[in-house]
């Protein structure tokens, strides 16, 4: 399997507090990398550094050229990034939010496929209501719907606490979705306080519990 990213000797200090140092990791295509650690350990900071959204982390990081050429950059393409807070525009409907995410990737997705992805995350009947009228878990589902579009050009998911606000059934469904994406060759880098049970999950502990 292709080695997608190599990071060496990453170091991060915040307010004179070292979050992590000498942190090295390789990310291989098809694996699920689960970054774990207590609150404030630096998981989000590390995740954002890996995709170029944060520069407070020092050290060497390189992505395989097949990935970097296709856009592993803050303005990039070819991966879904779900931030800790669901990036949902509250004045727009779930359908409009999903269409916007797709447009950002210049992907060609039919409207029935958008409706199907929203149904997959349990938002059937809520496609056309303003997102501000949805519950926290439903708003999270709007953000998650993009994972169900199966865009062939998206080979990497970067997920920051994707299980937040989800009910038990939705957590289980998302676990299965993540697993099957990896089984099909997709790569997942995620943070979560929720334990994953997939055999190919590689845990990376940072912070006090490391
Ligand atoms: N913009 C910032 N400026 C200064 N300090 C920051 C900033 N963002 C985060 N931090 C600090 O960096 C530390 C790590 O934050 P981070 O969000 O990466 O932790 P985390 O491991 O993801 O935590 P949680 O499990 O609570 O989500 C925290 O102590 C936080 O206060």
Q: 120 CA to middle of ligand 1, Å?
A: 32
- State which ligand 1 atom lies nearest to the alpha carbon of 207: 21
Instruction: Report the pLDDT value the prediction gives residue 42, as an integer from 0 to 100.
Output: 94
Domain ranges for the chain: 1-78+155-161+172-210, 86-152
- Supply the residue whose CA is at minimum distance from atom 9 of ligand 1: 45
The CATH code of the domain at 1-78+155-161+172-210 is 3.40.50.300
Instruction: Report the pLDDT value the prediction gives residue 158, as an integer from 0 to 100.
Output: 94
45, 57 contact by CB (below 8 A): yes
What is the rounded CA–CA span in Å between residue 45 and residue 76?
18
Give the global pTM: 0.91
H or E element that contains 159 = strand 156-160
What is the rounded CA–CA span in Å between residue 71 and residue 154?
11
- Supply the residue whose CA is at minimum distance from atom 7 of ligand 1: 14
Alpha helical stretches, state H, 69-210: 94-104, 111-120, 136-144, 168-183
Q: 166 CA to middle of ligand 1, Å?
A: 22
Q: Is 37 in the pocket of ligand 1 (CB under 6 A)?
A: yes
Q: 15 CA to middle of ligand 1, Å?
A: 11
H or E element that contains 27 = strand 17-28
- State which ligand 1 atom lies nearest to the alpha carbon of 191: 22
What is the rounded CA–CA span in Å between residue 136 and residue 69?
36
Q: What is the DSSP string of 44-80?
A: HHHHHHHTTS---EEEEEEE-HHHHTTT-STT--SEE
Per-position pLDDT tens, the chain of length 210: 788 889 999 999 998 899 999 999 999 989 999 999 999 999 999 999 998 888 878 999 988 766 655 555 544 447 889 998 888 999 999 999 999 999 887 778 999 999 999 999 999 999 999 999 999 999 999 999 999 998 888 889 999 999 999 999 999 999 999 999 999 999 999 999 988 876 678 999 998 544
Cα–chain-centroid distance for residue 158? Answer: 3
């Amino acid at each position: 399997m292709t080695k997608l990213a190599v990071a060496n000797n990453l170091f991060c200090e915040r307010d004179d507090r070292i979050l992590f140092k000498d942190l090295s990791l390789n990310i291989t295509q098809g694996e699920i990398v689960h970054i774990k650690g207590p609150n404030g350990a630096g998981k989000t900071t590390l995740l954002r550094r890996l995709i170029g959204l944060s520069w407070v982390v020092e050290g060497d990081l390189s992505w395989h050229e097949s990935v970097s050429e296709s856009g592993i950059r803050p303005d990039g393409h070819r991966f879904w990034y779900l931030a800790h807070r669901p990036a949902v525009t509250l004045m727009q409907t779930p359908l409009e939010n999903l269409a916007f995410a797709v447009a950002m990737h210049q992907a060609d997705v039919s409207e029935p496929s958008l409706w199907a992805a929203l149904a997959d995350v349990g938002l059937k009947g809520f496609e056309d209501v303003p997102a501000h009228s949805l519950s926290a878990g439903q708003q999270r589902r709007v953000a998650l719907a993009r994972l169900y579009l199966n865009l062939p050009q998206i080979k990497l998911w970067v997920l920051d606490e994707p299980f937040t606000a989800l009910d038990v059934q939705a957590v289980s469904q998302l676990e299965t979705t993540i697993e099957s994406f990896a089984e099909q060759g997709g790569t997942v880098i995620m943070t979560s306080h929720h334990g994953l049970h997939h055999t190919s999950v590689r845990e990376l502990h940072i912070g006090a519990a490391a």
